[in-house]
Amino acid sequence: MEALAAEINRHLRLYHVEDRPEISDAEYDRLFGELQALEEAHPDQVAPDSPTHRVGAPPAEGFASVAHRVPMLSLDNAMDEAAMRAFDERVKRILHTEEPVAYAAEPKLDGAGVELVYEDGHLSVGCTRGDGRVGEDVSANLRTVLDIPLDLTSDPPPPARVSVRGEVVLPVAAFERLNARRLERGEEPFANPRNAAAGALRLLHKIDRERLRALRFYAYALGEGIPEGAATQTRILATLASWGFTVSPDSARCDDVEGAIAYHARLLERRNALGIEIDGSVFKVDSLALQEDVGALPRTPRWAIAFKFPPQQETTVVERIEANVGRTGALTPVAVLRPVHVGGVTVSHATLHNQDEVTRKDVRVGDTVVVQRAGDVIPQVVMVVTDKRPRRTRRYRLPKRCPVCRTPSVRLEGEAVTRCPNVDCPAQLKNNVRHLAGRGALDVDGLGEKLIEQLVDRGLVKRLSDVFELDRDALLELDRMAEKSADNLVAALDRARATTLERFFIALGIRHVGSGVAELLAAHFGDLPPLMNATREELEEVPGIGPTIAESLAAFFAEEHNRSEVERLLAHGVRFEVTAPRVAREGPLVGCSLVLTGTLEGLSRDEAKARIEAAGGRVTASVSKKTSYVVAGAEPGSKLRKAEELEIEIVDQAGLEALLEG
Ligand code: IVH
């Protein structure tokens, strides 16, 4: 029991203090359950400081401690329906009733539990749960989370002192974006959204605004300040919403335990559609009076339970490691796994991202590994169970040559990715053709996977633009190509030739250029040549285009090969309509940037913006040294003061008209 407690304490610290767990949650729950069972069998041997008596971990050094006036409890787990029914039975036994008990049902959000204290409606302190009695003051970081209200404005006003509890989570999409960027920079990706969220809150010195801004807060409980008349958990959630909080999504009231079990099953179905990570459902006796009657243990209430989902993590064995060649030539190591069921799907492959990640995790062929699925994320190898490593294994290294075209692979100084530098490498080409033919790009009906394989393997398509050279005779040489299908494909290619500028940009397969970016570029430039000839600096000027995308575009069009591919696509009849660029390339305001403040008479902000852009100027949101003019209408805001400070020329509405006239 002592050894088990020590082991659990170590994992608690890794999880709560260092934000870098070494074992899966399921594995942790197993260890914890084992200790609980032993303590039940030997109550006289229970250590007073046993981890079963507390939640989380004490506050880390560096943060001020905040005592929770009402302890923040943890939740007991139910792993299956039987355990849920046993929980319900116990509640009824304590209440001496046979009547059904109603439960408030919520998703169990997988993030960091926090408490926000409001005094006279103003946020005074925000803290972590810590060990349930004392948490860490992370007010500064919590204040930057967008949906945490700094003031509670409601009618009637909230009680003088309230403590709102809830979960800070990082949405899955933001998590993936964040990790993609980290990988690109050669940094270690976060293990899961929860660690990324908890870690951001507990950064002491280097505040990570980007990460904090992506966080969401969902309220689900009140510590202090339960208003008169809030008799149920359901009412508490409604009250929290009326104070301006986003409450736990998908909450519901269940009439009895069977309703709760049905809720859980429905939630599991929707699990991957929620956009945030949840690891089960939580059921709370709905009536607050009954909650009190049922009571609490030191660590957990008896009136609530977490019904956990089956784990999204499992262990399996790495059978091989392959290097996949992507559309941009990136060599991605992929672990081929002994198939295993994880969260309802069979997983047989997991990405290992890049060489640094393989090295860091030291994944080897033959290793037993923990694999994880999160939301709709590609399965990942969380870690190696080194105890189970067979003898005579070797470290894995990405191949020195592209596995497809045998060109020596390269890894540039300071980059995380290893690439095949051959742009006509069949692997890249197949991916590029697939991309070009895709729905969002030129949408070539009938140009599918198998056909692309054959076209590239037989040498009919040696470069991207060759796709539009395919004719009936060439197609009929292929296996199982009937005359009808050949005709259909020729017709589909013909339809695909007439496209839009935006789709054409997408079709080129430039890194980081998806539909959103392509739309911005098409609207901004209106035609191909100005984009192809734009410098990196000019590209960065386009609203919504950052340095990474600008760099990628400039690098793409700097390659002679790519420019000639564009020419060849056009020569093969691919065409689009040229539109007027949003910002005119000629006019009195070319090269000028303007800031609008206050109201203009008879001219809406959008109209003013459109007219400035038609005259070649740009409208930006804030005043900087680069601003050419600040247009001040009636009741101007702080931008006017800023303009005065920076000595920027200020014009009124008549002045604007004069500028537009030239
Ligand atoms: S209620 C006594 N509701 O799970 C009530 N907690 O394992 C405890 N959690 O510390 C809190 N979603 O951080 C509650 N809808 C929800 C929750 C939730 C996630 C977290 C919370 C808590 C932990 C317990």
Q: How far apart are CA 114 and CA 376, in angstroms?
A: 26
pLDDT digits 0-9 by tens, 259-316: 999 999 999 999 888 889 999 999 999 999 999 999 998 889 999 999 998 877 889 9
Any ligand 1 atom below 6 A from CB of 221 = yes
Does the structure show a pLDDT above 70 at 376? no
Is the separation of the CB atoms in 336 and 291 below 8 Å?
no
| Nearest CA among 276, 179, 186, 191 for reference residue 18 | 191
What pLDDT, in 10s, does the model give residues 377-430?
678 898 899 889 999 999 999 999 999 999 999 998 888 889 998 888 999 999
Predicted confidence (pLDDT) per residue in 78-92, tens digit: 989 999 999 999 999
**Predicted local distance difference test score (pLDDT) of residue 59:** 60
Our answer on whether the CB atom of 109 is closer than 6 Å to any ligand 1 atom is: yes
| 403-583: CATH topology | DNA polymerase; domain 1 (1.10.150)
Give the whole-angstrom CA distance, residue 368 versus residue 384. Answer: 6
Q: In CATH terms, are 403-583 and 593-661 the same topology?
A: no
* Cα 294 to middle of ligand 1, angstroms: 18
Residue whose entry in the numeric block shows the structure tokens 């050669």:
186
Q: What's the whole-number mean pLDDT along residues 582-610? A: 87
- In the CATH hierarchy, which fold is given to the domain comprising 593-661? Rossmann fold (3.40.50)
Pick the CATH number of 2-53 from 2.130.10.10, 1.10.287.610, 3.40.1190.20, 3.40.50.1000: 1.10.287.610
Higher pLDDT, 635 or 328: 635
Nearest to 629 by CA among 599, 597, 587, 586: 597
Q: Whose CA is nearest to atom 14 of ligand 1?
A: 220
Measure 56 CA to ligand 1 centroid, in angstroms: 12
Among 279-283, 342-346, 347-351, which stretch is predicted with the lowest mean pLDDT? 342-346
Alpha-carbon dihedral sign for residues 346, 352, 357, 363? positive
Q: Is the pLDDT of residue 62 over 90?
A: no
- Distance (Å, whole) CA 148 – CA 116: 9
Residue of the CA atom closest to atom 13 of ligand 1: 113
Point out the ligand 1 atom lying closest to the alpha carbon of residue 113.
Answer: 13
Q: Is 108 in the pocket of ligand 1 (CB under 6 A)?
A: yes
The single residue of 108, 308, 430, 639 carrying the catalytic annotation is 108
What residue ranges do the domains of the chain occupy?
2-53, 77-308, 312-388, 403-583, 593-661
Residue 75 C-alpha to ligand 1 middle, in angstroms? Answer: 6
480-497 pLDDT, tens digit each: 889 999 999 999 999 999
Q: How far apart are CA 647 and CA 642, in angstroms?
A: 8
- The Å distance, Cα 303 to ligand 1 centre, comes to 13
Separation between Cα atoms, residue 385 and residue 333, nearest integer Å: 19
- Ligand 1 touching residue 16 (CB < 6 A): no
Ligand 1 pocket, residue 73 CB under 6 Å = yes
The correct answer on CATH 2.40.50.140 for the domain covering 312-388 is yes
Q: Count CB-CB contacts under 10 A for residue 63.
A: 17
What integer pLDDT is reported at residue 60 of this predicted model?
Answer: 64
- Residue 189: which H helix or E strand, with range? none
Q: What is the pLDDT of residue 300?
A: 92
Q: Are 311 and 277 in contact (CB under 8 A)?
A: no
Would you call 108 a catalytic residue per the annotation? yes
DSSP 246: P
Ligand 1 centroid, distance to 165 Cα (angstroms): 9
Q: Is 343's pLDDT higher than 90?
A: no
Q: Is the CB of 285 under 6 A from ligand 1?
A: no
- Give residue-wise pLDDT tens across range 98-118: 999 999 999 999 999 999 999
Q: Is the CB of 123 under 6 A from ligand 1?
A: no
Contact 184, 118 (CB under 8 A): no
Q: Across the strands, what pairs with 126?
A: 116
Per-residue pLDDT reduced to its tens digit, 501-556:
999 999 999 988 888 889 889 988 889 998 999 888 888 878 778 888 899 999 99
**Six token digits for residue 538:** 């000019």
Indicate the SS3 state at residue 341.
Answer: strand
Mean pLDDT (the chain) is: 90
Query: Considering only CA atoms, which residue is closest to atom 3 of ligand 1?
Result: 220
At the fourth CATH level, the homologous superfamily of domain 77-308 is DNA ligase/mRNA capping enzyme (3.30.470.30)
* CA torsion, ordered 536, 539, 540, 541, to nearest 10 deg: 130
Measured from the Cβ of residue 174, the count of other Cβ atoms closer than 10 Å reads 21
**Which strand (E) or helix (H) includes residue 345?**
strand 345-351
